[in-house]
């Protein structure tokens, strides 16, 4: 097995110069939505777009859980903050509810997603610190419980802030959110380049790829820096980290803030991409899914986390696609509801991976399974 691996590695990596692989990667990413769109339709391109958002989320959570070792079960709350920030600042909801706002913005509120993104980075980072402060002394299970509570509090606020004044529109959510725009190009409709028309979904894909790559590079740079080493030191042994002169309080707050800010940006793009947000998108289940991506892919290992996010974002959709036809072919009719079988197989896959690769599918160092 090992010999085979080495041969495979040689064949894959040692034949061509590195720049060639870079170009192959770029071209592959450019044609990917076209191939997927042509063979599976727009639905699958959407799945890919969401997978890229999950990569950003998982990388952000990896900073908190993977690098600094702080178990955070309420991470999706920061995603919600970003999503609702944009939903409120770029939809007719607030002007409809409050006359003063309607008067201040006679043309309607249409903040640019990029301005809101910067705003949400700051807002989410601030909330990350607010969450971090009371939990500085907590570790492991206790920290997990407090962060879980925090995540639920944010969601419940979104769910109930339609009274006494209607800020979030409650469980009905906010609709008619502006689409993503960049240099005057709307990502909601196809871009006509004269010789070719690029559908909006494909544009979103390219944008999200750029975002995911930037976030991955930021994570990589942080990991191989004084800051990243301090985080890992805290994860490995907090007292020893202090004895190295590391201000563990500031470093932990920094981890919370940076992880949260990634989720804030992802939230803004999510809300602009989907055009609709409701508290339903930010349940505990979502937090757990993102955590599963981190743990399953390879906790603390950036390529592993990316792989985990892609697999767990796409796998359920694949199951959704094959569960029904497969049953029909095997038994002639549908025995188990598709949703149930999807959850079953999903859970089973998680258990199997954790049993056979407890460090994650693609863990640091590679071959130590």
Partner 1 sequence: MMEHLLLDVTDVSKRFGGIHALDSVGLKVPHGSIVGLIGPNGAGKTTFFNVITGLYPADSGMFLFDGKFYVPESVSEVTQSGLARTFQNIRLFGEMSVLENVMVGCHCRSSAGVIGAIFRFPSTKREERSIRDKSLQLLAYVGLSEYAAMEARNLSYGHQRRLEIARALATEPKLLALDEPAAGMNATEKLELRELLLRIRADGKTILLIEHDVSLVMGICDSLTVLDYGKVIASGKPADVRVHPEVIRAYLGQGAA
Q: How far is the CB of 95 from partner 1 (least distance, A)?
A: 37
Q: Which of 45, 88, 254, 353 binds partner 1 (CB under 8 A)?
A: 254
> Which region, judged by CB under 8 A, interacts with partner 1, from 42-50, 160-168, 176-184, 243-251?
243-251
Write b or e for each residue in 121-134: b if 16 or more Cβ atoms lie within 10 A of its Cβ, otherwise e: bebbbebbeebbee
Residue among 145 and 218 whose Cβ is closer to partner 1: 218
Tally Cβ neighbours within 10 Å of residue 90.
Answer: 26
Could you tell me how many residues of this chain bind partner 1 (CB under 8 A)?
Answer: 25
Residue among 247 and 343 whose Cβ is closer to partner 1: 247
CA atoms of 90 and 84, how far apart (whole Å): 10
How far, CA to CA in Å, does 65 sit from each of 88, 221, 249, 250? 30, 17, 16, 16
Q: How far is the CB of 82 from partner 1 (least distance, A)?
A: 19
Q: Which of 6, 142, 172, 236 binds partner 1 (CB under 8 A)?
A: 236
Q: How far is the CB of 194 from partner 1 (least distance, A)?
A: 37
- Based on the shown chain and the rule CB under 8 A, indicate whether residue 243 belongs to the binding site for partner 1: yes
Residue among 214 and 324 whose Cβ is closer to partner 1: 214
- Based on the shown chain and the rule CB under 8 A, indicate whether residue 232 belongs to the binding site for partner 1: yes
Q: How far is the CB of 217 from partner 1 (least distance, A)?
A: 9
Q: What is the CA radius of gyration of the chain?
A: 22
- Based on the shown chain and the rule CB under 8 A, indicate whether residue 225 belongs to the binding site for partner 1: yes
CA atoms of 296 and 129, how far apart (whole Å): 27
> Which region, judged by CB under 8 A, interacts with partner 1, from 133-141, 230-238, 279-287, 338-346?
230-238
Beta strands per DSSP E along the chain: 181-182, 185-186, 191-192, 197-198
The answer to whether 191 and 197 have CB atoms below 8 angstroms apart is yes
Helix (H, G, I), strand (E, B) or coil at 2: helix
> Which region, judged by CB under 8 A, interacts with partner 1, from 71-79, 190-198, 221-229, 306-314?
221-229
The answer to whether 78 and 162 have CB atoms below 8 angstroms apart is no
Tally Cβ neighbours within 10 Å of residue 309.
Answer: 29
- Based on the shown chain and the rule CB under 8 A, indicate whether residue 260 belongs to the binding site for partner 1: no
Report the site for partner 1 in 328-367 (rule: CB under 8 A): none
Helix (H, G, I), strand (E, B) or coil at 139: coil
- Based on the shown chain and the rule CB under 8 A, indicate whether residue 137 belongs to the binding site for partner 1: no
How far, CA to CA in Å, does 7 sit from each of 12, 99, 363? 9, 69, 20
- Based on the shown chain and the rule CB under 8 A, indicate whether residue 319 belongs to the binding site for partner 1: no
CA atoms of 211 and 265, how far apart (whole Å): 9
Q: Which of 76, 122, 310 is nearest to 212 (CA)?
A: 310
- Based on the shown chain and the rule CB under 8 A, indicate whether residue 226 belongs to the binding site for partner 1: yes
- Based on the shown chain and the rule CB under 8 A, indicate whether residue 369 belongs to the binding site for partner 1: no
Helix ranges restricted to H, 275-337: 284-298, 302-331
One character per residue 190-219, x = contact with partner 1 (rule: CB under 8 A):
----------------------------x-
Q: How far is the CB of 331 from partner 1 (least distance, A)?
A: 48
Q: How far is the CB of 241 from partner 1 (least distance, A)?
A: 7
Residue among 93 and 301 whose Cβ is closer to partner 1: 301
Q: Which of 193, 239, 329, 330 binds partner 1 (CB under 8 A)?
A: 239
- Based on the shown chain and the rule CB under 8 A, indicate whether residue 229 belongs to the binding site for partner 1: yes
Write b or e for each residue in 167-180: b if 16 or more Cβ atoms lie within 10 A of its Cβ, otherwise e: bbbbeebbeebbbb
Q: How far is the CB of 261 from partner 1 (least distance, A)?
A: 10
Binding site for partner 1 (CB under 8 A): 218, 221-222, 225-230, 232-233, 236-237, 239-248, 254, 258
């Amino acid at each position: 097995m090992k010999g085979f691996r080495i041969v495979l590695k040689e064949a894959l990596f040692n034949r061509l110069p590195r720049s060639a692989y870079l170009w192959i990667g770029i071209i592959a990413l450019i044609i990917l939505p076209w191939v997927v769109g042509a063979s599976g339709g727009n639905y699958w391109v959407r799945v890919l777009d969401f997978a890229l958002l999950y990569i950003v989320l998982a990388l952000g959570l990896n900073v908190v859980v993977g690098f600094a070792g702080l178990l955070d079960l309420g991470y999706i709350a920061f995603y919600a903050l970003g999503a609702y920030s944009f939903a409120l600042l770029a939809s007719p909801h607030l002007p409809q509810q409050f006359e003063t706002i309607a008067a201040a913005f006679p043309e309607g509120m249409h903040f640019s997603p990029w301005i809101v993104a910067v705003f949400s980075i700051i807002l989410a980072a601030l909330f990350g610190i607010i969450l971090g402060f009371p939990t500085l002394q907590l570790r492991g299970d206790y920290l997990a419980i407090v962060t879980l509570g925090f995540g639920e509090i944010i969601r419940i606020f979104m769910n109930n802030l339609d009274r006494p004044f209607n800020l979030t529109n409650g469980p009905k959510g906010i609709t008619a959110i502006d689409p993503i725009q960049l240099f005057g190009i709307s990502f909601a409709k196809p871009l006509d380049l004269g010789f070719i028309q690029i559908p909006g979904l494909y544009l979103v894909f390219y944008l999200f790829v750029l975002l995911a790559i930037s976030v991955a590079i930021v994570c990589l740079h942080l990991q191989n820096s004084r800051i990243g080493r301090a985080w890992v030191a805290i994860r490995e042994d907090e007292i020893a980290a202090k004895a190295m002169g590391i201000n563990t309080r500031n470093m932990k707050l920094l981890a919370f803030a940076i992880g949260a800010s990634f989720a804030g940006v992802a939230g803004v793009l999510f809300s602009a991409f989907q055009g609709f947000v409701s508290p339903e998108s930010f349940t505990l289940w979502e937090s757990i899914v993102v955590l599963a991506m981190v743990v399953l892919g390879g906790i603390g290992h950036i390529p592993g986390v990316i792989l985990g996010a892609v697999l767990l974002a796409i796998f359920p959709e694949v199951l959704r696609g094959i569960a029904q036809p497969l049953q029909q072919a095997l038994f002639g009719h549908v025995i188990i509801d598709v949703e149930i079988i999807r959850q079953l197989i999903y859970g089973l896959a998680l258990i199997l991976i954790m049993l056979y690769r407890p460090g994650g599918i693609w863990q640091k160092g590679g071959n130590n399974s």
